[in-house]
Structure formats: C-alpha cells, structure tokens
Structure 1
Amino acid sequence: MGLIALCLWTGLTIGCGGGGGGSQTTQQLRVVMASPDAPAVDILIDGVQVATSLVYTNSTSYLPLKAGQRHVQALTVSNSTSIFDQTISLTASANLTLLLTGPASKIQEVLLTDGSKTTTTTTGTGKVRVVNASITMGPADVYIVNAGTGLAGATPVATSLSFDKNTEYESVPTGGGGYEVFMTSPGTTNLLLDTGALALTQSQFQTVIALDATGGGFNYIALTDQ
C-alpha cells in the first residue's frame, strides 16, 4: 500500500508550505479494508488517488482532509472496477475510521469517530473498543479483560454485538501483561475469538476489529487510534 504525497492532494488538504487563503478546518480519515473477498483496491477521495493496493485486513494511514462531503471510491487494481462509491460527511475536529465491510459484491461502510479528540483517559489507563466486522460470526458477547485472566467471573462490555456494530471505548489498565479480548456466543462461554495478549500504553486509544479468517474461523486486527 503506497500513499500519494500529501502536497499533491489539491483540494483535499490545506496547502503544503506557503499559499494564501484563510484557514480551513481539517480532520483525518483512515480507511480499513474489512471485506474478506475484496481484491486489492486503490482508494480515491474526490477523484484523487490517496492509497494503492489496499488489501483485506490492511488500512491506510490517517489522511488529512477538509471537513464536509467527501467522495470516496475503491477501484480494483486489476481493472479499475468500482466496488465502493459513496459520499461521506466528515465532521469538523474529529478523526475518523472508515471500514469497508461485507462481501465485495455489496460492500458496506462503517464510519467510526476515533476518540483521542473527544474522549479523555485517566492516569494508568487507555481506551479500547471492539468492532464486529465478521460476516459469519453473528452476534457475540464481548469481554475485555486483563491478559491471562480468562473469562471466569468476567462481565461482558457488550452483549450480542452484531455485524458492523461496535462497543463504546472502554477504560483498560495499562502496563502489566496487557489486555485480552474474548468474543463468545451470546449468553455462553463458547469461544469465538481470543486475541491473546495485546499491549496498551498510557492514554492510548485502540480499535480491535473482529474479522473472518482466511480458511475459516475468525481473526482480528488491532489499530492504534489518533
């Protein structure tokens, strides 16, 4: 995945270096490919290519954009066929993550507001949220626990979290052995996904995205939010 130089994004960002004109509100957008059968795609915003060869489980970096309506497209690398073409509204003073989910024949969008600009942490904690972007998992209970402690006595942070839904950011202690996310069949301890230990630092925000694994079962990606 390659990124086009920021100074080439005429009309998308505030100018690089000199240049006149008043200040304009910007925020950042990150795009995540969460469609398991999607081919490699190029990402265009307002007709300008901003990322190349984005594949399943990968994401762009945060892209600085002007607030307002932005036209987002995903075009296949092989023949420039559009598999996603939507106009989305970017809110001022917010960083956003756009997930492209579902089958490639009918990609859906999930637009998340990333919390570092809107949510604060307390000393010794970070924030973690979980997204169910698996086509085949179905609704699941979500647990976020200290790594290695298991599910005994744990309370889910969300119950029956369905496809394309996310939990709120949850406060998680930092340090020690990290944290661990479990997803289970609703109302049971039938394990669907176990991330193993994940590291979190003071005041860090993370998004854990549950996905379909190639070859069956479930997998995840963990992203650091800005």
Structure 2
Amino acid sequence: MILLAGSVVVSGAALGGPAGASPAAALQQQADGPSTQETSYLRVVHASADAPAVDVALDNETIVSGVELGEASDYLEIGAGDHRLTITAAESGDVVYDGNVSVEPRSVTTIAASGEVSENASQPFAPLFIRDDARQPAEGEAAVAVAHLSPDAPTVDVTVEGTGTVIAENVSYAGVSDYMTVPAGDYTLEIREATAENDGSVVTTVDVSLADGSAYTAYAVGYLNAENASDTENASGPGFQLSLAEDATTSVTLPSDADGNETEMPANETEMPANETEMPANETEMPANETETPMTTELPNETETEASANETESPA
C-alpha cells in the first residue's frame, strides 16, 4: 500500500478505449519507514497526435519503450526529486523532448506526451503532468475525468447517450475536467461541441466500461479532421479517439471520536479536521521548480466516497 495522505491503491488494469491501452501494474507497498517516504510512481500516456511510437527515458535510462498513440504504460516506481526526462521517436531515435522535471514525494503521476512534433505544429509538443490520486468512489460507483489532447478539436462537453448526464463540460485543449461520479457500468459517451446547455452537435461517441470502485481519465487524442494534421506529407492523420486509463485512487478516513467510533466524512464535504492535511487529487500541472512539502500523516483505512477534482496549471 502506498501512503499518499492516507493510502493510495492502483488496482486493476489500464483499460483500452479504441487505442487498447496497455495494462497498468497493481502496486502494493507498505510505507513503514524512511525508505518509502520519497517513493513516487510514474506512467506515460502517448497523446501526441502526429508523433510515432515513443520511448521515454528518465536520467538517461529508458523506462518505457514503443508506446503508441492512446496507450498508457504501467506505473513505475521512481525516486522523488529532480529528473531529466527525454522522449524520443522509437524507430528513428529523434529527440522530441529533453528537459528537467520535478517529481513530488509520494505522488502518483501520469506524463501525457501531448501536442505535435512536426514543424507546422498548431500545438507545440510538451509533456503534461497529471496527478493520479482521485478519491476512491463508493461501492457501486465509478469516477471519470476527461483530458482534452486533440489539437484540432474544439472545446467540448461529454455527455452520456440517452440520459443527458454531463460527464465533463467546457473542456478546452490541454484541459482536464473534474472527476464525475456515476454508477459503475457500461456507457456510450457523446463528445459534443461545448455549449451553455451541453447540447452541442455530437463530434463522436465511444463505448466505455467503468468498474465498481475505480477512477479513470479518458484521453481525447488524435485529429478530429485528418486533413488538419500538422504533417502535410501525411494526408491521413490519426483519427479522433477516446482512450480510457484507470487511475490510482486515494482511500481516506477520519480519526475515531472519543467513544471509539469511526467518523465518516459527510457527503460533499471537502475540509479535513484540524491538524489533518488533504492531498490534492488528480491535479494537473506542467513541470515546475517548486517542491511541495512531503506528506507525513498516515490516516486510518476507511474509504472516503467522494471523488476529488482536477486542477490544471500552465507550464512553469
């Protein structure tokens, strides 16, 4: 078990949408000593519309090889702190990104390789860092967020076909929506042009399966219109698709009261009691030089049922 403001559990596998994301590793580690205090976990999602399969290296050591558009790698254990991140085209070895990144202690992060690598790019290539530590949904429920990484798609709303339920609204390029909790099950999601009433024209639909007690980020990747591909030599850019990846979830409970009874967080209540610290969940940020103070408080193990929100920051 990974301690992230309580306990963090990565369960099941990364579920493939149209792109067929690769399985995510189930991580279990007891954080009971200094050796685990600086441990973090990292995975890679290929979301660059015109990039070939990519290899990813951390501190000049390859950690992921041959990731295709829409695929998510397993979570990998790394040390917190500053690292050199290098992303290269798998076949040619051409470097598409090389820079320093800062990884916070005891965090679970997805690096989304986003933007375009061609000279005529409308959206420059950049890694987008997304914190994967949503609150674990209640029994019978699942949580889903949407990451908009399609360079030519408009701002979008995402609704559930036949119900009008809004999963995400007004999500623009490089934005990540808040988690939305829904009953676990199978859905057809409608990606729509954003409107005030969430009733814009449907761009495309995608079928997803949301497992009980799990949280996901749906990555919108590829080109809405193939002719908009930045590589003018490639007349058929990869089409628009929504790839679903299962995220880490955080299980949180409050201390017992004076009578020894466990105290449950009320629904929709976001404030923790005095002297307790809440870890932000699925927060999205670009590489930065600021370092967050490590979390040292271990909470009991009862599950908090509300999914947390995503926050998006621009590159530092």
* TM-score, structure 2 normalization: 0.57
1:36-185 alignment, distance < 5 Å: 36-105=49-118, 106-116=124-134, 119-143=135-159, 145=160, 149-150=161-162, 154-175=164-185, 178-185=186-193
**CA distance in 2: counterparts of 1:200 and 1:95, whole angstroms:** 21
Amino acid at match of 2:55: D
CA distance in 1, matches of 2:174, 2:90: 26
Provide runs of 4+ in structure 1 moved above 6 Å. Answer: none
Task: Write out per-residue CA displacement over residues 30-58 of structure 1, whole angstroms, 9 at most, x where no aligned residue.
Answer: 11111121122221001101122222222
Point out the structure with max Rg over C-alpha.
2
Deviation at 1:155, TM superposition (A): 4.9
Contact 2:136/2:214 (CA < 8 Å) preserved in 1? Answer: no
Match of 1:208 in 2: 218
State the shift of 1:22 in Å. Answer: 5.2
The Cα shift of 1:157 comes to 4.1
CA contact (8 A) 1:115 1:205 kept: no
For 1:14-29, list aligned pairs within 5 A.
Answer: 23-24=35-36, 25-29=38-42
Partner letter of residue 61 of structure 1? D
Q: Deviations over 1:128-174 (max 9, x none)?
A: 1111110111211122x3xxx425xx253433210010111111101
Is the Cα–Cα contact under 8 Å of residues 100 and 108 in structure 1 kept in the other structure? yes
Uncovered stretches (5+) of structure 1, i.e. residues with no partner: 1-20
1:122 deviation in Å?
Answer: 1.6
Match of 1:23, SS?
helix
Q: Which residue number in structure 1 is paired with residue 23 of structure 2?
A: none
Contact 2:136 2:215 in 1 (8 A): no
Deviation at 1:88? 2.0
Query: Could you state the TM-score of these two structures normalised by the residue count of structure 1?
Result: 0.78
Q: Tell me, what secondary structure is at the counterpart of 1:121?
A: coil
Q: Which has the higher strand share?
A: 1
Contact 1:98 1:111 survives alignment (8 Å): yes
Match of residue 203 from structure 2: 192
Contact (CA 8 Å) 1:172, 1:179: kept in 2 or not? Answer: no
What code does the residue aligned with 1:136 have? Answer: D
- Tell me which moved more, 54-63 or 210-219: 210-219
Q: Percent identity?
A: 25
Name the amino acid aligned to 2:166.
P
**Higher RCO by CA contacts (8 Å cutoff, separation 6 or greater):** 2
Q: Is the contact made by 1:192 and 1:218 (CA closer than 8 Å) also made in structure 2?
A: no
In the alignment of these two chains, the number of paired residues is 195
Secondary structure at the aligned position of 2:154 is classed as coil
Q: Secondary structure at the match of 1:195?
A: strand
Letter in 2 for 1:186: A
> Structure 1 pair 159/179, CA: closer, same or farther in 2 (3 Å)?
same
**In structure 1, how many angstroms separate the alpha carbons of the residues matched to 2:93 and 2:112?**
20
- Is the CA contact 2:157–2:192 (under 8 Å) kept in the aligned structure 1? yes
Report how far residue 23 of structure 1 moved: 0.8
Note if 1:220 corresponds to 2:242: yes
Q: Does the CA contact (< 8 Å) of 2:147 and 2:220 recur in 1?
A: yes
